[in-house]
Amino acid sequence: MRESTPRRSAHVIVVGNEKGGSGKSTISMHVIVHLLKLGQKVASIDLDCRQHTLTHYIRNRQRWSDRWGLGLPLPQHFMPTRSEGDTVRLNEEREFEQFAEAIGSCERNVDFIVIDTPASDSYLMRLAHSMADTLITPINDSFVDFDVLAHVDPVNFEVQSTSHFARMVREARRKRRIVDEVMIDWVVVRNRVATLDTRNNRRVAQTLADLAAQLGFRVCAGICERVVFREFFPKGLTALDPIEEDVVDSRPSLSHLAARREIRQLIEYLRLPIDERGRRRAEARRTWIESCREPLELGDILAR
């Protein structure tokens, strides 16, 4: 039965790429923390049933926050487990039930759902892509990783044909538009970009722009190769967290600030539907935390 007053559904952000090591979990975590800091209610789902990198990232964040009393914001997290049944069909059914239960329990209670997908073609991975409102595909800035989207001519670097992953996304977008008239916003993010301008950088950028015109995705300038992103993971931190020495457990550097600037540029480029209510929640929380840090005066106690 339909509810008398319809409730909105969460905006679904899917981070997907069939190639491993492209930075999916790192970008997922930064998007999650950014939204939480803006006062949005966020749920996260880790569909990588083998590695659980996003799950480990969030657990590391919880432990680090508890250890130092930082009160770092955390999402409502779900982790479907890998099914080890006798048949592929049975495994897919069990994993789908877990995924559906996670979606059903949070889609009406949060503003955003961030889904981190595995680096493989699976039933849940394809299903998640078809559910996306915003699809983020990070690729390392090389033609080795470009191959996950399309195959190029080795002489002139023109696109010869699209890859399996690109065709899968194109089909998911087509079906989604037929079902509910929503066009999935597909954003490809250049990741681990060299800090120095090189001929390879220029070729990748131009070929990616040509492919974007064919497939209808947007290209984000990207994130440079920085050691600081690797240092964040064991502590569960992000470039958006406070960079005081007692938080990051190391002396802040210009690399921290540069990483924060790049992440903020990425978030702005995504054009996510962030409402004013979330901003008000964030401001109220910030004011409350600041007031808690100040000791009560004797007059305040007597007045109570």
Cα–Cα dist 25/21, whole Å? 9
Cα–Cα dist 232/202, whole Å? 29
pTM of the model: 0.88
Q: What tokens were used for 76?
A: 């409502």
Residues 115-143 as b/e (b if ≥16 CB within 10 A, e otherwise) read: bbbbbeebebbbbbbbbbbbbbbbbbbeb
Q: Output the pLDDT for position 247.
A: 63
> Which domains, from first to last, does the chain contain?
11-275 (3.40.50.300)
The residue behind tokens 């070929």 is: 207
Q: Output the pLDDT for position 250.
A: 66
Q: Output the pLDDT for position 270.
A: 96
Residues 229-245 as b/e (b if ≥16 CB within 10 A, e otherwise) read: beebbebbbbbbbebee
The residue behind tokens 């399309």 is: 150
pLDDT digits (tens, 9 = 90+) for 8-56: 689 999 999 998 899 999 999 999 999 999 999 999 999 998 889 999 9
Q: What residues in the chain have per-residue pLDDT under 50?
A: 1-7, 296-304
Selection from 43, 47, 101 nearest residue 73 by Cα: 43
